[in-house]
């Protein structure tokens, strides 16, 4: 090597200076050319690399781009002249071949195999089972949950239901003394059950609407919606009842909402559907005109429903929405004179808009619950459901308001429903969610305890809603672990059989399993489990097929390849992390214990000029001891700088390291175990390359000029008989 690395510089400056002025007579001696020109000419006179292999069975290979080779240009010529075996850098990997539908596009692979065969070169198959360069989109889709879209299950959604079994007048009221409200005795309701509402119109009125019953529901109508009114009705004389559409009790919009009802002394069930139009949109109140006939009317089981074409989706649904803009006390009441209800003036509501509910507790009470506001909603709570309370609140003095869960106004169940609300003298927005438990289940009333502080409280924009998470959801069916394993085993089989079938005429060795060992835990397999960021082409077969994924891959390769194909396992950094080298050897032993055949171990060797030579020697010794075929599968050597910053000294060191690695391979690996050496990047890497971008790692420059590293490889090949 010294004669290569330490050539003499024979230019003698004094002689040049003596004769530099003589320009007529030719010189009688030869002046040697500069060192770089001398060396380049010597490099150019060397034989192509494969000529130094002789009759040896050693495979000298190159990593190439399939498209570059198939174009049959310079890469094609250089590869054919210098190498015996080709490894596709990307084109024979799962991600390059398998499309998003799982189909194998093998045309370019087939051309590559045939072109190489015609040129007298074989293919080293790279790679069958890896975690990178996979079509992860397709593979993940094969084990994704089955999602059955939410079924369109049209249903009637009840938004108001009144059975008149309590004195709570939530959802209904009359327009005054012309429609006197009372209740029947118990047992006088529809079908002789419970009780019913009675309304007496004592005389025929000048206008039928002078006597009215208002029924209010918590959701304003919209054009196109379908609403249903159901109820049981009778009267002491035959009569007819027209229905009006109101935007609030007494706020008339249209003369016809649910048409005209007829009543007589016999109970009658009414069920009427209407489609909302411009005349009836924006309304939430049905006004029953009772003034046509002097009669006593009885109403029972009033129900207003909305047709939901798609069924309920998982969303918050309002149960009560009370802005306190009308005098109708729908959904709220106090517990008596200790909590005096009134309203603020207009413009004194939250954000100085509209009005608010005003409740005065005149003195501190012995018990905080002696002054209460009850808010009632039309759905009874159940364990596990989520409820939300929203409102704006303030008080004339700072005050704490505890909330109780009650089954009806005054029917206490639990001391804590929506926690404690702290009111100040400024408006404050409250938004509290609770999950119903045993203590708060079966309730439909929030009791606000106002007795702790003598003050006036103000409430506005009070809303109670619940999260309907069961209706209208997609049905998600997850695959079991065994189903995922079976599915991926099928696709691994399809992939390996397809790529090997199109390649087997000229591919006699395969990188079956690539980079299995974990860097941090080198005796364990790599895994994507718990990895926060996965590349788009990353997919870990082992996470689904288990430790035996390699067993399966080797068995499939033996099944679908040629009978005498040489099957390798391959990994990187085996010379950097000796435990990783030991780890892959242990894994090979495991694979073979499960009955699969592993013929060889590939060590990639992407190294630098300062890589630890003692570890390289130790790695080769460990690999040799396995008795397996050993391949340097992806050799390239960096110099620590980009091409533009390279020096002759660094290139000499690179040539020396190439020589060292290959010589030690021949020295330490028994000849019958020497499968071969692949130069991963024959030329220096371009600045836009995905691999070691801008690094001068090759034996040729980017413009295909031989480098000192070429001579280093040649001299190492010439020493191959050293073993």
Q: Helix 648-668 crosses helix 613-624 at what angle (to 10 degrees)?
A: 20
C-alpha torsion 101→103→108→113, nearest 10: 150
* Type and span of the H or E element at 38: helix 35-44
Whether 131 has a pLDDT exceeding 50, the answer reads yes
Tokens of 537: 């082409």
Handedness of CA 392, 396, 397, 402 (dihedral sign): negative
pLDDT in tens, 565-597: 999 999 999 999 999 999 999 999 999 999 999
**β-pair type (475-477, 146-148):** antiparallel
Confidence of residue 7 (pLDDT cuts 50, 70, 90): very low
Q: For residues 343 and 356, give the distance between their C-alpha atoms in angstroms, rounded to a whole number.
A: 6
pLDDT in tens, 247-260: 999 999 999 999 99
Q: What is the pLDDT of residue 23?
A: 32
pLDDT in tens, 482-498: 999 999 999 999 999 99
Same fold, 27-142+481-722 and 155-311: no
Whether 367 has a pLDDT exceeding 90, the answer reads yes
Cis peptide before 10 (omega within 30 of 0): no
Question: Active-site residue among 368, 552, 575, 634?
Answer: 634
Q: What is the pLDDT of residue 492?
A: 99
What's the whole-number average pLDDT of the chain? 92
Q: What is the pLDDT of residue 151?
A: 58
Q: Is the pTM of this model over 0.85?
A: no
Q: Are 324 and 358 in contact (CB under 8 A)?
A: no
Whether 317 has a pLDDT exceeding 70, the answer reads yes
Confidence of residue 688 (pLDDT cuts 50, 70, 90): confident
Tokens of 665: 């391979």
Q: What is the pLDDT of residue 393?
A: 98
Domain spanning 155-311, CATH class: mainly beta
Determine the 3-state secondary structure of 457 from DSSP: strand
Q: What is the pLDDT of residue 148?
A: 76
Q: Are 371 and 449 in contact (CB under 8 A)?
A: yes
At 501, give phi and psi (nearest 5°). Answer: -65, -45
For residue 424, what is the DSSP state? -
- Annotation marks residue 51 as catalytic: no
As a whole number, mean pLDDT of residues 165-170 equals 88
Q: What is the pLDDT of residue 721?
A: 60
As a whole number, mean pLDDT of residues 689-711 equals 91
What CATH number is given for 316-468 in this structure?
2.60.120.260
- The answer as to CATH 3.20.20.80 being correct for domain 27-142+481-722 is yes
- Please give the sequence-ordered ranges of beta strands (E in DSSP) within 309-398, or none if there are none: 315-322, 332-334, 340-343, 357-361, 372-376, 386-395
Whether 654 has a pLDDT exceeding 50, the answer reads yes
Whether 337 has a pLDDT exceeding 80, the answer reads yes
Q: In this structure, how many other beta carbons lie within 10 angstroms of the beta carbon of residue 563?
A: 5
Q: Are 333 and 232 in contact (CB under 8 A)?
A: no
* Structural domain spans, the chain: 27-142+481-722, 155-311, 316-468
Q: For residues 630 and 605, give the distance between their C-alpha atoms in angstroms, rounded to a whole number.
A: 12
Q: What is the pLDDT of residue 32?
A: 38
Tokens of 305: 């429903």
Residue for token pair 């489990």: 529
Among 201, 451, 413, which Cα is nearest to 336's? Answer: 451
Whether 277 has a pLDDT exceeding 80, the answer reads yes
């Amino acid at each position: 090597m010294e004669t290569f690395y330490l050539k003499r510089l024979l230019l003698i400056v004094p002689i040049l200076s003596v004769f530099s002025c003589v320009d007529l007579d030719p010189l009688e001696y030869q002046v040697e050319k500069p060192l770089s020109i001398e060396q380049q000419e010597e490099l150019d006179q060397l034989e192509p690399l494969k000529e130094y292999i002789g009759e040896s069975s050693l495979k000298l290979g190159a990593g190439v781009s399939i498209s570059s080779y198939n174009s049959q240009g310079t890469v094609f010529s250089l590869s054919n002249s210098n190498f015996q075996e080709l490894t596709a850098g990307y084109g024979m990997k799962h991600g390059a071949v398998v499309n998003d539908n799982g189909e194998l596009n093998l045309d370019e692979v087939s051309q590559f195999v045939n072109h190489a065969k015609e040129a007298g070169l074989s293919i080293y198959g790279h790679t069958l089972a890896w975690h990178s360069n996979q079509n992860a989109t397709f593979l993940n889709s094969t084990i994704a949950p089955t999602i059955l879209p939410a079924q369109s299950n049209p249903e009637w959604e009840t938004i108001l239901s009144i059975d008149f079994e309590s004195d709570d007048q939530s959802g209904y009221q009359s327009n005054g003394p012309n429609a006197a409200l009372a209740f029947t005795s118990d047992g006088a309701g529809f079908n002789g059950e419970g009780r019913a509402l009675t309304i007496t119109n004592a005389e025929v009125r000048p206008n039928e609407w002078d006597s009215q019953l208002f029924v209010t529901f918590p959701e304003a109508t919209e054009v196109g919606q379908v609403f249903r009114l159901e109820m049981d009705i009778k009267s002491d004389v035959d009569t007819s009842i027209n229905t009006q559409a109101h935007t609030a009790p007494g706020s008339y919009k249209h003369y016809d909402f649910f048409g005209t009802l007829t009543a007589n002394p016999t109970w009658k069930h009414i069920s009427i559907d209407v489609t909302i139009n411009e005349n009836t949109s924006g309304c939430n109140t049905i006004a029953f005109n009772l003034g046509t006939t002097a009669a006593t009317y009885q109403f029972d089981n009033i129900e207003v429903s909305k047709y939901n074409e798609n069924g309920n989706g998982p969303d918050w649904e309002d149960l009560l929405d009370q802005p306190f803009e009308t005098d109708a006390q729908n959904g709220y009441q106090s517990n008596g004179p200790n909590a005096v209800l009134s309203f603020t003036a207009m413009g004194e509501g939250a954000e100085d808009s509209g009005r608010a509910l005003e409740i005065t507790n005149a003195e501190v009470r012995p018990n905080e619950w002696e002054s209460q506001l009850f808010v009632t909603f039309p759905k009874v709570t159940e364990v596990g459901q989520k409820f939300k309370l929203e409102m704006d609140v303030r008080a004339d003095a700072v005050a704490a308001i505890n909330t109780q869960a009650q089954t009806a106004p005054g029917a206490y169940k639990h001391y804590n429903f929506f926690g404690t609300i702290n009111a100040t003298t400024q408006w404050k927005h409250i938004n509290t969610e609770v999950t119903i438990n045993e203590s708060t289940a079966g309730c439909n009333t929030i009791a606000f305890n106002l007795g702790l502080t003598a003050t006036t409280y103000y409430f506005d924009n009070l809303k109670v809603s619940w999260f309907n998470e069961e209706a209208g959801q997609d049905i998600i069916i997850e695959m079991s672990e065994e189903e995922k394993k079976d599915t991926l085993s099928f696709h691994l089989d399809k992939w390996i059989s397809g790529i090997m079938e199109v390649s087997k005429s000229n591919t006699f060795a395969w990188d079956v399993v690539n980079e299995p060992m974990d860097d941090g835990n080198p005796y364990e397999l790599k895994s994507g489990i718990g990895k926060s960021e996965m590349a788009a082409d990353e997919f870990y077969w082992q996470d689904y097929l288990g430790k035996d994924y390699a067993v399966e891959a080797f068995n499939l390769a033996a099944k679908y390849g040629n009978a005498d194909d040489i099957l390798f396992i391959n990994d990187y950094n085996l010379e950097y992390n000796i435990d990783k080298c030991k780890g892959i050897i242990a894994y090979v032993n495991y694979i073979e214990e499960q009955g699969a055949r592993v013929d060889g171990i590939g060590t990639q060797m992407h190294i630098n000029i300062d890589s630890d030579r003692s570890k390289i020697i130790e790695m080769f010794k460990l690999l040799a001891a396995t008795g397996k075929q050993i391949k340097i599968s992806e050799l390239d050597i960096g110099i620590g700088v980009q091409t533009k910053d390279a020096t002759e000294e660094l290139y000499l060191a690179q040539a020396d390291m190439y020589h060292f690695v290959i010589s030690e391979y021949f020295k330490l690996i028994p000849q019958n175990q020497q499968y071969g050496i692949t130069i991963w990047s024959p030329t220096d890497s371009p600045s836009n390359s995905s691999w070691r971008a801008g690094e001068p790692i090759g034996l040729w420059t980017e413009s295909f000029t031989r480098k000192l590293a070429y001579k280093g490889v040649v001299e190492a090949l010439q020493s191959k008989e050293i073993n």
